[in-house]
Amino acid sequence: MPFRLALTIVLLLTQILAVAQTARNPVIFADVPDMAMIRVGDTYYMSSTTMHLSPGLPIMKSKDLVNWQLVGYAYDTLTTVDAMSLNNGKSTYGRGSWASSLRYHNGLYYATTFAQTSGRTHIYTTKNIEKGPWKEVSLKPSYHDHSLFFDDDGRTYLIYGAGKLRLVELNADASGVKPGTPEQVIIENASTPSGTGGGLPAEGSQLFKVKGKYYLFNISWPRGGMRTVIIHRADKITGPWEGRVALQDKGVAQGGLIDTPDGRWFAYLFRDFGGVGRIPYLVPVKWEDGWPVLGENGKVPETLDLPASEGLIPGIVNSDEFTRKKGDPALPLVWQWNHNPDNALWSVSKRKGFLRLKTDRTDTSFVMARNTLTQRTIGPECTGSTMLDASNLKDGDFAGLSLLQKNYGLVGVKMENGAKSIVMVSASSGKPVEVKRVPLSQRTVYLKAECDFNDRKDIAHFFYSLDGKAWTAIGEPLKMPYTIPHFMGYRFGLFNYATASAVRPETGGFADFDYFRITPTLSGK
């Protein structure tokens, strides 16, 4: 081989290896929106939005800004109102807790959020962010998209609002609004730097103080434009504030600043990405004339000078065989319930190695059924599968594997008139339609759902198997649009709910799931 050719090959291989060992955007290809982030020593912590799910206000940990793992939740139950518990025909899809703020101050970690569902602002504190326990205080009103801030002079504030941004002072320990300190408007229209010709007003406040100056991050969405990062700067927290457009590329926006132990700076932001949800990006930051300058020549880079991702399994999503050793939590942190669960109706101990979901009422639809156990889908593609023992379903029961969003898809076993059938249901039109039904003469069945988010295809396919080896496609492909009523990416779910049946003698049927397995690939048949 000629020397020049050999040298070229070596250089190419070196470049390929370098890219393989480098982080790439998005850093998390999954629904982790509205991030707030802090660094304590050499460890980063991040909170995010999970709205109507329980437990909520997830806390994640990283040593390199790229590889994250769930370490806990700030709360098990946000509120027990009917809408959060799917009772009396009420639900709170797309609401529950919204964008959080995360801080570390005087030995305490603070995670705060706000909720239309409760009408309150919730402030959670702990000395140990990874193990808890968390203490809660709450106050009225619900401060929209607020940023908690502890200033150098010992005073504590919230900045909140949309368009018109306001400042309210809290007690030093953030336990409530400081008496005798009326709130004030600090920015009349935070959207001004990106134009005021309509669109969504600037919101998503996150406040930082660097070298004595205050920097306030917001997102705006000009009419006919894209999601845009706005930064305002001031010498005093009360202003006056000077604003500018900081980034306008690919719709990557909303977040804030984080620095590394070696003095580098990044902006953490997210991007709307269809059915998989709102996915986190990191953008390098340089400082020029006292301003943080985001991106590379104003663009979001594909690669980052950070360690490569090791994948989202097991830190963000993970398989579960439902086997538990003594001392294990009943459910790993990757799981969240759709709304508040009824804890009397599920178990991982009634039958060793199985998740049991039991019914005690009839429901009119899948999205109104309690105790659907969910976790995120991931991009660019993924497959979720389970084995269901349907031998204890009662007439009218429907149990199986779901892809949860407004336009959901289901594959499972339905018991009707004493006979079982494998059924695929699609709500792609916005209303559920039974697309396919196959008689089932055995007690167990294997179910699988594949999600393809490549190039925003947002297509899912459902399969079943009688032996776990030979798979058969069922129903039709499911188009997975991101809809605002649910306001989150599609999630895998294990479900069992009862529907009204003319021959139904009683409630109390149950489904046993042997495992849930997730892979970052499309397995095909």
Cα distance from N-terminal residue to C-terminal residue, the chain: 44
What percentage of the chain exceeds 90 in pLDDT?
92
Q: Give the pLDDT confidence of 250-295 residue by residue, as tens digits.
A: 999 999 999 999 999 999 999 999 999 999 999 999 999 999 999 9
Domain definitions of the chain by residue range: 3-307, 336-519
Q: Give the pLDDT confidence of 426-477 residue by residue, as tens digits.
A: 999 999 999 999 999 999 999 999 999 999 999 999 999 999 999 999 999 9
Cβ–Cβ under 8 Å, residues 208 and 233:
no
Q: What is the mean pLDDT of residues 302-330?
A: 97
Q: Residue 18: its pLDDT value, please?
A: 47
The pair of three-digit structure tokens given for residue 168, joined into one six-digit string = 């309210």
Q: Give the pLDDT confidence of 374-389 residue by residue, as tens digits.
A: 999 999 999 999 999 9
Q: Give the pLDDT confidence of 99-148 residue by residue, as tens digits.
A: 999 999 999 999 999 999 999 999 999 999 999 999 999 999 999 999 99
The pair of three-digit structure tokens given for residue 193, joined into one six-digit string = 């730097």
* 102-107 CB contacts, 8 Å cutoff, 24+ apart: 102/36, 102/37, 102/38, 102/45, 102/46, 102/47, 102/59, 103/38, 103/148, 103/149, 103/150, 104/38, 104/40, 104/45, 104/129, 105/150, 106/150
pLDDT, greater one: 502 or 422: 422
Tell the CATH superfamily of the 3-307 domain. Answer: Glycosyl hydrolase domain; family 43 (2.115.10.20)
Which CATH number is associated with domain 336-519? 2.60.120.200
Cβ–Cβ under 8 Å, residues 385 and 403:
no
Q: Residue 429: its pLDDT value, please?
A: 92
Summary mean pLDDT of the chain: 94
SS (H, E, C) 114-135: EECCCCEEEEEEECCCCCCCCE
Q: Give the pLDDT confidence of 24-75 residue by residue, as tens digits.
A: 999 999 999 999 999 999 999 999 999 999 999 999 999 999 999 999 999 9
Rounded-to-integer distance, Cα 84 and Cα 229, Å: 32
Please provide residue 19's backbone torsions phi and psi, each rounded to the nearest 5 degrees. -65, -40
pLDDT band at 21 (very low <50, low <70, confident <90, very high): confident
DSSP, collapsed to helix, strand or coil, labels residue 193 as: helix
Rounded-to-integer distance, Cα 108 and Cα 504, Å: 54
Q: Residue 7: its pLDDT value, please?
A: 56
Cβ–Cβ under 8 Å, residues 278 and 405:
no
Q: Residue 216: its pLDDT value, please?
A: 98
What percentage of the chain exceeds 70 in pLDDT?
94
Q: Residue 196: its pLDDT value, please?
A: 66
Q: Residue 11: its pLDDT value, please?
A: 52
Q: Residue 14: its pLDDT value, please?
A: 46
pLDDT band at 13 (very low <50, low <70, confident <90, very high): very low
Q: List the beta bridge partners of residue 480.
A: none
Largest CA-CA distance found in the chain, in angstroms, rounded: 83
Q: Which residue has the tokens 């305002």?
A: 232
Please provide residue 398's backbone torsions phi and psi, each rounded to the nearest 5 degrees. -140, 120
pLDDT band at 17 (very low <50, low <70, confident <90, very high): very low
Q: Give the pLDDT confidence of 324-365 residue by residue, as tens digits.
A: 999 999 999 999 999 999 999 999 999 999 999 999 999 999
pLDDT, greater one: 104 or 11: 104
**1 pLDDT above the threshold of 70:** no
**496 pLDDT above the threshold of 50:** yes
Q: What angle do CA 470, 475, 480 make, to 5 degrees?
A: 110
Q: Which residue has the tokens 């109102």?
A: 81
Q: Residue 195: its pLDDT value, please?
A: 84
* Sign of CA pseudo-dihedral 479, 484, 485, 487: positive
373-376: strand order across its sheet: 53-54, 336-338, 373-376, 491-498, 397-404, 409-416, 419-426, 433-440
